[in-house]
């Protein structure tokens, strides 16, 4: 099973209470691909500039990620500058330089056409919609977005939301998109815009899945929300990419299973949390690059133990 992902492939300049890095490899599609690559085949659509080196590409190909769909264009790669001060749950964007993404025309290589799972990672919703249109036969479509696109690209985003089985966003984005402060009202207002289910990430506090009454990818409607934990951590070095890594673990696990069931969905939420917890341990993609499947399974067991309540407790 393969996931096709479109999204930013970028260089990030980041400041956190733990330090500062300049132009490290990042981007929503990059973090997502690395995380999902531990579970399934991943194929990337994106564009990079002349500053993107073979060593950058090797970060993905070493993990088996297919980069045939990453176009190399004249100019500079997407560059995001952000900082975290006080709350590590939400980044403050200091600069977004779209660069080569501003004129990108996504083309799907023929070798990608049989991808069964589509992930519309964070990028201009116009590009997300174009890729969706070129992949009409996929089994499932999940997506992400952020305040930058919600604020000024609402009409284009509305087109993408109508196409989604599952949208994954954080608390702030859910409030901003819906205009509702209450998390349950916000979730239902967002699902009324299109997504059949919504995964809201709460940073260090885990994630909650909400379901509409519409079935998706073979899953009949589920009415009770599901809350997955996050690992309490004594040190968060850099939260950048945690959301994309969550999405990569979540969707990678789903794609690795023969059938999507409510249990597979819930397990996927746990794997999402596991991958997010690793991503924040080092700057940029460093931790995911060094990660092993054994470490993932070990932490998955910890997540289960942490949130398990025996039925026989009086
Ligand atoms: P997150 O997982 O939410 O922390 O996403 C982090 C990644 O999003 C960074 O590596 C950035 O390069 C990327 N990013 C930041 N702003 C945007 C944007 N407006 N569109 C697409 N990607 C972005």
Q: Is the CB of residue 270 below 6 angstroms from any atom belonging to ligand 1?
A: no
pLDDT of 194-240, one tens digit each? 999 999 999 999 999 999 999 888 787 777 899 999 999 999 999 99
Integer Cα distance of 14 and 91 in angstroms: 9
| Position in ligand 1 atom list of the atom nearest CA 245 | 2
Question: Would 310 be classed as within a structural domain?
Answer: no
What residue's CA is closest to ligand 1, atom 12? 27
Domain-located, residue 106: yes
Query: Residue 61: pLDDT above 70?
Result: yes
- Asked whether 167 and 199 are in contact (CB, 8 A), the reply is yes
Q: Which two tokens stand for residue 295?
A: 């470490």
Please enumerate in sequence order all residues whose Cβ is within 8 A of that of 110, keeping only pairs 6 or more positions apart, or say none. none
Residue 314 pLDDT > 80 = no
User: Is there a domain that residue 163 lies in?
Assistant: yes
Domain for residue 309, yes or no?
Answer: no
pLDDT at 77: 98
> What span, in angstroms and rounded, lies between the C-alpha atoms of 146 and 126?
14
Q: What is the largest CA-CA distance in the chain?
A: 67
Q: What is the chain's mean pLDDT, rounded?
A: 96
The CATH number for 163's domain is 3.40.1190.20
Evaluate whether residue 314 is within a structural domain.
Answer: no
Residue 311: inside a domain = no
The residue segments making up the domain with residue 266 are 2-83+90-303
Would you say the CB of residue 291 lies under 6 angstroms from ligand 1?
A: no
The pLDDT tens digits of the residues spanning 96-142 come to 999 999 999 999 999 999 999 999 999 999 999 999 999 999 999 99
Distance of alpha carbon 24 from alpha carbon 35, whole angstroms: 17
Residue 106 CB less than 6 A away from ligand 1: no
Q: Output the pLDDT for position 215.
A: 86
Domain annotation covers residue 313 = no
Count of structural domains, the chain: 1
Question: Taking the model in full, what pTM does it have?
Answer: 0.97
Q: Tell me how crowded residue 109 is: count the other CB atoms within 10 A of its CB.
A: 12
In a domain, 235, yes or no: yes
């Amino acid at each position: 099973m393969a996931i096709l992902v479109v999204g930013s492939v970028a260089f990030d300049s980041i400041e956190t209470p733990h330090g500062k890095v300049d132009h490290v490899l990042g981007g929503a599609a990059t973090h997502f691909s690395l995380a999902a690559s531990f579970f399934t085949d991943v194929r990337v659509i994106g564009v990079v500039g002349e500053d993107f080196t073979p060593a950058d590409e090797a970060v993905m190909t070493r993990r088996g990620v297919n980069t045939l769909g990453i176009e190399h264009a004249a100019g500079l790669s997407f560059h995001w500058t952000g900082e975290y001060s006080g709350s590590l749950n939400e980044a403050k964007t200091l600069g977004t330089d779209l660069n080569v993404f501003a004129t990108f025309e996504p083309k799907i290589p023929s070798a990608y056409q049989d991808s069964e799972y589509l992930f519309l990672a964070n990028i201009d919703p116009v590009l997300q919609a174009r890729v969706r249109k070129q992949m009409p036969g996929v089994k499932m479509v999940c997506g992400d977005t952020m305040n930058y696109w919600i604020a000024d690209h609402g009409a284009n985003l509305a087109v993408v939301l109508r196409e989604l089985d599952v949208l994954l966003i954080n608390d702030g984005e859910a409030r901003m998109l819906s205009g509702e402060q209450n998390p349950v009202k916000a979730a239902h207002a967002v699902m009324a815009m299109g997504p059949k289910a919504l995964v809201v990430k709460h940073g260090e506090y885990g994630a909650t899945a909400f379901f509409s009454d519409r079935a998706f990818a073979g899953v009949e409607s589920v009415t009770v929300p599901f809350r997955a934990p996050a690992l309490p951590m004594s040190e968060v070095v850099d939260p950048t990419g945690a959301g994309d890594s969550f999405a990569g673990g979540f969707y990678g696990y789903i794609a690795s299973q023969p059938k999507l069931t409510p249990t597979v969905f819930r397990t996927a939420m746990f794997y999402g949390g596991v991958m997010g917890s690793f991503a924040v341990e080092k700057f940029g993609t460093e931790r995911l690059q060094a990660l092993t499947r054994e470490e993932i399974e070990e932490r998955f067991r910890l997540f289960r133990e942490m949130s398990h309540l025996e039925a026989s407790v009086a």
